[in-house]
Amino acid sequence: MEQILVYGQGGHSKVIQMMIATSVGQEVSLIADDDNKKVNPSAAIKMIQAQQIEEYRSEFDSVVIAIGTNRVRKKVVESCQQDNFATVIDPTAVVASDTTIGAGTVVMPMSVVHPATRIGKHCIINTGAIVEHDCLIGDYSHISPGAVLTGAVQIGKMVHIGANATILPGILIKDNVTIGAGSVVTKNVEANCVMVGNPAREITKERK
């Protein structure tokens, strides 16, 4: 049984804990948080402060960073000095057998990932998202609930695709882009943009 330390206690963490609890071969052993006020010693699962992780190294096999915001998740990954990140896939998700999924990525309930897709490290494929065939998703990107990446879409690093957005076939979205909820992306997107609407149009430059 793989013992997993879950880093974070927010809503995203609650879903990941549920996923692990219903999976085969994985179990939450510890929950860590950098906010000391959130640590509850009477909780059913042992909760520790982030700076205590190394003290409890014998109690977990791997770590998942349960933080939904891309920049914060990346910062925590880089600061927590771990190299043993868990990949967590909900039992209700449908993932093609030839999909490549990076360490630390979570594939959430009722999502679908079709063949010949590559997903980077520390990504989130959120509830009910659909990733069609031959897609590429860069590290630290977040595909929100109900979003659809149609065939052969390429997503860069640190990209956020909003809830129920649709990315049309063959589109390239470069690094550090935010696509607003419900948007329809019909053309390639340059780096550091915020895009909204149908068809999606740039409204501002995203900060790097």
Which amino acids are annotated catalytic? Answer: 133
Contact by Cβ (8 Å): 137, 123 = yes
Q: Say how far apart CA 132 and CA 43 lie, in whole Å.
A: 40
Residue given tokens 């999909």 in the structure block: 99
Residues 6+ apart with CB under 8 A from 70: 140, 141, 142, 158, 159, 160
Which tokens go with 6? 């879950």
Any bridge partners for residue 189, and if so which? 173
Contact by Cβ (8 Å): 122, 85 = yes
Tell which residue, 91, 51, 113, has the closest CA to residue 102: 113
Residues 6+ apart with CB under 8 A from 203: 194, 195, 196
